[in-house]
Amino acid sequence: MSAARAMFEKHGFDKASVRKIAAEAGVDPALINHHFGSKQKLFVAAMRAPVNPVEIVQRLAAGGPDKLGFRIAETFVSVWDSPAGSGLAQAMRGALAQDGMTVAMREFVTHEMLPAVASALEAPAAEKKVRASLVASQLIGLAVTRYILRIEPLASAPPKVVVDSIGPVLQGYLTGSTVATIELGPGIIQPE
Amino acid sequence: MSAARAMFEKHGFDKASVRKIAAEAGVDPALINHHFGSKQKLFVAAMRAPVNPVEIVQRLAAGGPDKLGFRIAETFVSVWDSPAGSGLAQAMRGALAQDGMTVAMREFVTHEMLPAVASALEAPAAEKKVRASLVASQLIGLAVTRYILRIEPLASAPPKVVVDSIGPVLQGYLTGSTVATIELGPGIIQPE
């Protein structure tokens, strides 16, 4: 696990490979694949994250765009309010503190998390990505404000209050007209 | 300055005092007050933040609640997109990485930043605080996503796209009906 963490810290998420990590740890790549199943799952384990956020989002996204923002808000708050929350907070603090892990976290969010959100939407690819990254901005902000900095009154607000406040915003980012009417210039369209 | 930083790290923002910091640094408290003017300004300097966010928000709040969310979004993006942005990103990473600075940042946001936002609103005190902390959650999330993790396409989106997307959300948190209709239970009302 420390070999995996060191590898992600050095190479980021994209360029790290199960094969390289296995070589570094002196074990068979098949063993790692057997235990973790994928680089995504290995990263989640290396970050000591107690849940796999990609799997959660994929499950939510499978329900389609209708009310997806509300479902994401509800699930996000219930997972972070659970005992798993402190592990997630530590994983996020670690990712923000070290340059190497910041890069790995960026690539993981960009290539594993955002596509899982975008998959639920019906829009041009570039617009889906803008919408998904806006959702990420509010969720990451909620995580930092409520669970890491613990800023009141948001930190102690009942889950329902938080979900009722954040849900409509996420839904707006996903399917609202505000983002849809934005002119998507070349600056915002990223290569696939 | 290092005495100030160490003091904030050890005691947080609330319990640190200009007098204690002066004693630690072996200088006259009057000298610190002359140079910095207040504990708030000393904290901003100790965090190596290139601008004073409290002064900026106070200026914006003075214009009243109408379109305040849009003005905050515009100013936030223009300051963080400016050369000052990398200094702010470093200050925020530092605050999130160390337990002591996390506490100091929490107290600074709660007791200096949020009241500056709340001062512009017309609502019961408890509701103003909820609204201000929701604004903080989206702004902190934007800072982490666009400027620290640099998640695409948000990281390279033209300022106008970001302002047009975030502005309505901030305005909704400040004066919209969604938050206003929330039943403010005892959990969310904090002692003054």
Q: Which residues of B touch A172 (CB under 8 A)?
A: 168-169
pLDDT tens for each residue of B35-61: 888 889 999 988 888 889 999 999 999
Which of these ranges, A79-93, B13-27, B125-139, has the smallest mean pLDDT? B13-27
Q: How many degrees, rounded to 5, is the angle at CA B104 between CA B100 and CA B110?
A: 145
| Closest CB from A96, A126, A149 relative to B97 | A96
Cα separation values, B5 from B11, B19, B43, B85, B105, Å: 10, 14, 8, 20, 12
Structure tokens at A107: 């690539």
pLDDT tens for each residue of A80-90: 999 999 999 99
Q: Which residues of B touch A150 (CB under 8 A)?
A: 106
Burial label for B109, CB within 10 Å (0-12, 13-18, 19+), is: buried
Q: Which residue of A has its CA nearest to B168?
A: A178
Q: Which residue of A has its CA nearest to B145?
A: A137
Cα separation values, A41 from A45, A108, B25, Å: 6, 11, 49
Q: What is the pLDDT of residue A79?
A: 95
Q: Which residue of A has its CA nearest to B188?
A: A157
Is the pLDDT reported for residue B184 higher than 50?
no
Higher per-residue confidence, A56 vs B184: A56
Q: What is the pLDDT of residue A115?
A: 96
| Closest CB from B150, B172, B188 relative to A156 | B188
Higher per-residue confidence, B185 vs B92: B92
What would the mean pLDDT of B76-102 be, rounded to a whole number? Answer: 91
Q: What is the pLDDT of residue B191?
A: 41
Q: Which residue of B has its CA nearest to A141?
A: B141
Domains of chain B: 1-46 (1.10.10.60), 50-180 (1.10.357.10)
Q: Which residues of B touch A93 (CB under 8 A)?
A: 96-97
| Closest CB from A109, A157, A173 relative to B151 | A109
Q: Do B154 and A134 touch (CB under 8 A)?
A: yes
| Closest CB from A93, A148, A153 relative to B133 | A153
Q: What is the pLDDT of residue B167?
A: 94
Q: How far is A30 from chain B (nearest CA, A)?
A: 32
pLDDT along chain A (192 residues), means of 10: 86 89 87 87 88 94 95 96 93 88 93 95 91 96 96 92 93 79 44 40
Name the nearest CA neighbour of A151 among B52, B105, B74, B14: B105
Q: How far is A182 from chain B (nearest CA, A)?
A: 7
Q: What is the pLDDT of residue A98?
A: 83
Contact A14, A109 (CB under 8 A): no
Q: What is the pLDDT of residue A168?
A: 92
Q: What is the pLDDT of residue A47?
A: 86
If DSSP states are collapsed to H, E and C, what string results for A29-41?
Answer: HHHHHHHHCCHHH
Is the pLDDT reported for residue B161 higher than 60?
yes
Is the pLDDT reported for residue B185 higher than 70?
no
Q: Which residues of A touch B136 (CB under 8 A)?
A: 141, 145, 151, 154
Q: What is the pLDDT of residue B192?
A: 39
Q: How many beta-carbon pairs under 8 angstroms link A with B?
A: 174
Q: What is the pLDDT of residue B179?
A: 58
Burial label for B140, CB within 10 Å (0-12, 13-18, 19+), is: buried
Q: What is the pLDDT of residue B1?
A: 77
Q: Which residue of A has its CA nearest to B189?
A: A153
Is the pLDDT reported for residue B8 higher than 70?
yes
Q: How confident is the model at residue B178 (pLDDT cuts 50, 70, 90)?
A: low
| Closest CB from B126, B158, B179 relative to A188 | B158
Report the Cα B21 to chain-centroid distance in Å. 22
Burial label for B39, CB within 10 Å (0-12, 13-18, 19+), is: buried
